[in-house]
Structure 1
Amino acid sequence: MMFSADRVFIVEHAGERDELLVLLANSLRQDGLVKDSFLAGVLTREAEYPTGIDMETHSIAIPHTEYEHVNQTGFAIAINRAGVEFHRTDEPDARVKPAIVVLMAIDPGCEKVAIIQSLFGLLGSLEQVNKISQYTPEQIAKTFTDSVSTR
């Protein structure tokens, strides 16, 4: 299952970005979707190519790594109420506090561009992000399942 309520986390207490990524990556590993090397791949990539995206009215983050660390496509989601910071993709010295963080594990059979376009379509408006942020983990998983295309 690409999206699961078991991999949706409501983050209420401040922490570091890497702690949040460990939480998300471990949930994917526990479900067998990623290899043991996945977390190191995500942390290395995030340090080199940050994934915080400033969308003017709000921000999101879409961390990921290369497909060789992935067994099967899946996602882990954090509703970031704690304000954990990510460096920006377009301006790495600047930081944003993404409202929603979507950790992607994409296998080679999926179209990464289609997935990212779907995520931008779903998370592109502040109104939609605020709405999703109030959902239960089950509602969040269903919303993403209904909205994200892998082809």
Structure 2
Amino acid sequence: MFSANRVFTVTQAISRNDLLSQLADSLQADGLVKASFLEGVLAREKIYPTGIYMETHSVAIPHTEFEHVNHTGFAIAINQAGVEFHRTDEPEAVVVPEVVVMMAIAPDCEKVAIIQSLFALLAERERVNDICKMTPEAIAKVFTGAVVTS
């Protein structure tokens, strides 16, 4: 579900839509999502933004409905470029998430359990800082060990 091939470090200025496109393209290249996935993510992001402010840091967890998904999988961006996301709880406000985790969740997976385990992994600033310094292979391994999918 997690692969080093779908872990990116974003260092150059890029738009949020371009970042989301890069993540979605990696999921599609691995056959995990349908061609409609990116459009679904972008449409959902306008109505239900996914930037999450956690007092000491921020993360974003973009996703869309399961009808755009073939198999559960994830793509991750380490956001060193300062890409902004609108906040889930205050859509007019923005955050700069250190980590962006794009979820493609198939209907046979427990979405709530996945989100809870992502929050548990990303809740502490020091842990997020450590993740941001890891190789793509190490990041994929950490997420694989921490995220509950059933």
Q: Distance in 1 between matches of 2:82 and 2:72?
A: 27
Query: Following the alignment from structure 2 to structure 1, what is the Cα–Cα distance between the partners of residues 24 and 33?
Result: 8
After TM superposition, the structure 1 = structure 2 runs for residues 37-56 of structure 1, keeping only pairs within 5 Å, are: 37-56=36-55
The size of the alignment, in residue pairs, is: 150
Give me the TM-score of the superposition, normalised by structure 1: 0.99
Runs of at least 4 residues off by over 2 Å? none
Unaligned runs of 5+ in 2: none
1:65-104 counterparts in 2 under 5 A?
65-104=64-103
| CA distance in 1 between partners of 2:78 and 2:13 (Å) | 12
TM-score (normalizing by structure 2) = 0.99
Residue type at the aligned position of 1:35: K
Q: Which runs of 5+ in 1 are unaligned?
A: none
Measured in 1, the distance between the counterparts of 2:49 and 2:125 equals: 21
Measured on the aligned residues, the alpha-carbon RMSD in Å equals 0.4
Secondary structure at 1:32 match in 2: coil
Aligned partners of 1:48, 1:14: CA distance in 2, in Å?
24
2:116 partner amino acid:
Q
Q: Once the 2 structures are TM-superposed, how far is the Cα of residue 88 of structure 1 from its aligned partner?
A: 0.3
CA distance in 2, matches of 1:26, 1:94: 27
Question: Partner amino acid for 2:136?
Answer: P
